[in-house]
Structure 1
Amino acid sequence: MLEAAALIKLKQWKKTIIILSLVGLLILAGVIAAIVIAVVLETKKAVPSTPHYYDGALRINNLSYRNAFNDSSSAEFRALSSQIEENIRALFDNSVLKRHFSMSNVIALRPGVLVAFILQFQVPNAESEKYSTFSVENIFKENLKNSFSSRFLVDESSVQLSGK
């Protein structure tokens, strides 16, 4: 009977040691993961970068202009500009510019549904030469056919970009 009790206690000790070992390993893995994340984030911060801005314009042929588009605070303007901004962002999703693309902002909708917008890229200083207006515009036009929503029929010849 004593041997059975001793065996039960031994099994309980084994379980306790296994559980404590697993908990220790999980804590160690968490600490290692935290260190790796901190190093990666610090490395990203340490790279000096400069924002690059581009003014752009394009014409959407299959939309009718509404007077509400004159007011950038109107629900119609905000809804349409949000959709256009999302489509512009999608243009860069499958490009070399993806990781540096910061934002697009529709600033005006004009009669004939001419869209005026701004693009921003956060570019490491060492890569600054690669981000000419020509290269950004080429990628924009190249991806325009594939990435822009089927809801918008963009006149490709109307696309204009200029660097600031």
Structure 2
Amino acid sequence: MHAKSSGGTIIGLTLFFSMALSIAPWPDHLAILMPSWTLLTLIYWSIALPHKVSILTGFSTGLLFDVLTGSLLGQNALIFSTASFFSHSLYSRLRNYPVWQQSTLILMFLGCIKLLSLWLNHFIVHIEYTYQHGLQVLFSALVWPAIFAVLRLIRRHFKVQ
């Protein structure tokens, strides 16, 4: 078995893998439904290990994500740090909810985050809201139980604490 891990490497690798999923070339019919892999991974680690994954982690992950996706520098940093802040604020409650109830809260939370993102994009590049943005949020909430299960399995296997 593995010794008790501090977890920094595992957390970094899962965030890296989620960023790779986000920037991978997907067919158009799948790209419409693409969940926010990196944001969901960051939310999981913020809830599971709030003493290891901080708002600064969210900010630096967001900056790296901005560079990788070519979006406005600082936009995803603001969004990811906001997500980390709210995950930290509510982690003691979220941990005790069943996964389906967490999915419901994730749906509402990601909806607010998506509106913030669209609001910022509207002023910069004049992007309009379409049903596809809502589908991404909905699919992210539907995928949450699977992401939760996989990341919890990884955390337990490598004894990340």
Q: Return the TM-score normalized by structure 2.
A: 0.27
Q: Tell me which protein shows more strand as a share of its residues.
A: 1
Q: Tell me which protein shows more helix as a share of its residues.
A: 2
- Considering only CA atoms, is the larger Rg found in Structure 1 or Structure 2? 1
Q: Return the TM-score normalized by structure 1.
A: 0.26
